[in-house]
Amino acid sequence: MATLITHSPAETEMLGEHWGREARRGWVIGLSGDLGAGKTQLVKGLARGLGSAARVHSPTFTLVNEYSGGRLRLFHLDLYRLETREQIVAAGLEEYLQPDGVAVIEWVERWFGNEHSTFDIQHSTSESQAHVRRVNIEVLGETERRITYEDPGA
Ligand code: ADP
Ligand code: MG
């Protein structure tokens, strides 16, 4: 488990960019944190780090945005509007746990709860060897965010 504090939206984006540069096919990154915490900000960095120039915004009318043009495709899911696991499964989102590219999931706790290990257990029942990163963003102040992350099973 690693923790760091960012002091601006740009710093959070830079963290995402760094992860985007190291990402491999099949990675799944789960994000939790309140509205306005900076989840989408982090995804902007991820897209940039993967080399995509796509305009990143939370999927609203759809559940998934796909950004191409980079080294790997990036699938951006936002579960804010889905309240139960059943709804998520019914929406057919499970395929994104074995992405042909990288998947990043905002409000991942709606799917897997808050236990980091649960995410791993659910994930490892799939056949993929994918790497999972579970991330939590806490608002500390107007421009300060505490970002905690862990790669369960790594
Ligand atoms: P979420 O997707 O978690 O709802 P967004 O990324 O859409 O949040 O919004 C985060 C908001 O917080 C943006 O308005 C951003 O400018 C602001 N912000 C301020 N400081 C930070 C920081 N350190 N990291 C990320 N966002 C920050
Ligand atoms: Mg968002």
Of all ligands present, the nearest one to the C-alpha of 33 is 1
Assign 131 a pLDDT band (cuts: 50, 70, 90): confident
9 lines ligand 1 (CB under 6 A): yes
Interval 68-112: pLDDT, tens: 999 999 999 999 989 888 999 899 999 999 999 999 999 999 998
- Integer Cα distance of 31 and 28 in angstroms: 10
* Cα–Cα distance list, 86 to 96, 112, 117 (Å): 16, 11, 20
Element (H, E) at 55: none
Average predicted confidence (pLDDT) for the chain = 90
Q: Calculate how far, in angstroms, residue 124's C-alpha sits from the geometric centre of ligand 1.
A: 31
- 6, 7, 41: which to mutate for ligand 1, most atoms within 8 A of CB? 41
- Cβ–ligand 1 distance for 12 under 6 Å, the answer yes
Q: How far is the CA of 146 from the centre of ligand 2 (A)?
A: 16
Q: What is the pLDDT of residue 60?
A: 75
In whole angstroms, how large is the CA radius of gyration of the chain? 14
How big is the chain, counted in residues?
154
Ligand 1 atom with the shortest distance to the CA of 41: 6
